[in-house]
Amino acid sequence: MTQLPESLAPLLARAQLWQGRTQASVRTQSTGHKGLDDLLPGGGWPVGSLSEVFIPRLGCGELQLVLPWLARLTQAGGRVALLRPPLLPYAPALAQSGVILSRLLVVKPETEDAARWACEQTLRSGGFSAVLCWPGKITAQELRKLQLAAEAGDASGVLYRDLSAVAQASPAALRLEIVDGPDRLKVTIHKCRGGQAGRQWLQAA
C-alpha cells in the first residue's frame, strides 16, 4: 500500500480522506432495512455527514425509505427535522410506524433559499440527530456548506433531490437513487465512501 504523507494524517483520523475502497471507520446508523445496510459501508446512514436521495417523482417511497430509521432515532430520544417537505407528512402514519411525533419538527420555509439556510442552521445546531430537507436547486458550494454543518453538529443530513441532479458533483458521503416502481422500494447506490457504487437493493416482498 502507498505510504501517505504525514500531512494527511489528521484528515484520515477524522474519516475525511478517501483511500480508494478503504477508509477510516465512519460512524453510521442502520437504515432499518437489513439488505440495504449490508450494501452500505458501516451498515447504514453516515453520522456527521450529508446524504442525498434522488427521486424520480414525489411519493415514490422517499419517506418509506427512512421511516424505520426515524422511528428508532426518536424512540431513543433524538430529534428529527423535516424542512420544506412538498406534502405535509401524515401524522397517524408516522406514529403507526413508530415515530415519536413530539420529537419531530416540521418546518415549511417559504423559499428555497430559506430552506437551505434553515437546513444549514439546523444541522449545525447540535440539537438534531437527523435533518431531512427538500432544498430545490442547490450549488456545489451550498452542498459543501451543508456537509460542513453536518460535521459541526454531528448530525445526519438527508437531501431529497430531483433525479436530474444526479450528475452534479457533491461532497455528500452517500448518494442513493430511488428507482421508480409499482410497489416495493428499489434503491441504486451512486456513491458511498469506502464502498462500491452501482449496487442495487430491492425491498423484500
Residue 19 lies in a domain: no
Question: Alpha-carbon distance 54 to 37, whole Å?
Answer: 18
Confidence of residue 7 (pLDDT cuts 50, 70, 90): low
| pLDDT, tens digit (0-9, with 9 covering 90-100), for 135-189 | 999 999 999 999 999 999 999 999 999 999 999 999 999 999 999 876 789 999 9
Q: Residue 83, class by beta-carbon neighbours within 10 Å (0-12 exposed, 13-18 middle, 19+ buried)?
A: buried
| pLDDT tens-place string over residues 78-97 | 999 999 999 888 999 999 99
Whether 61 is covered by a domain: the verdict is yes
1 lies in a domain? no
Residue 99 belongs to domain spanning = 46-202
- The pairing of strands 104-107 and 45-46 is unpaired
CATH number at residue 139: 3.40.50.300
Average pLDDT for 34-43: 93
30 contacts: CB under 8 Å, gap ≥ 6: 37, 43, 44, 45, 68, 69, 72
Identify the weakest region by mean pLDDT among 36-50, 124-138, 191-205: 191-205
Residue 132 lies in a domain: yes
Convert the pLDDT of each residue in 46-72 to its tens digit.
Answer: 999 999 999 998 888 899 999 999 999
Q: Is residue 35 domain-resident?
A: no
In the numeric block, the cell 432499518 is attached to 32
pTM of the model: 0.85
- Report the number of distinct structural domains present in the chain: 1
pLDDT for res 41: 86
Burial of 125 by CB count in 10 Å (0-12 exposed, 13-18 middle, 19+ buried)? middle
Residues ≥6 apart with Cβ < 8 Å to 156: 29, 45, 46, 47, 48, 49, 51, 129, 130, 131, 150
**Residue 29 resides in a domain:** no
The answer to the question of residue 94 being in a domain is yes
Nearest-angstrom CA–CA distance, 191 and 21: 11
151 within a domain of the structure (yes/no): yes
In the structure, what pLDDT confidence band is assigned to residue 17 with cuts at 50, 70 and 90? very low
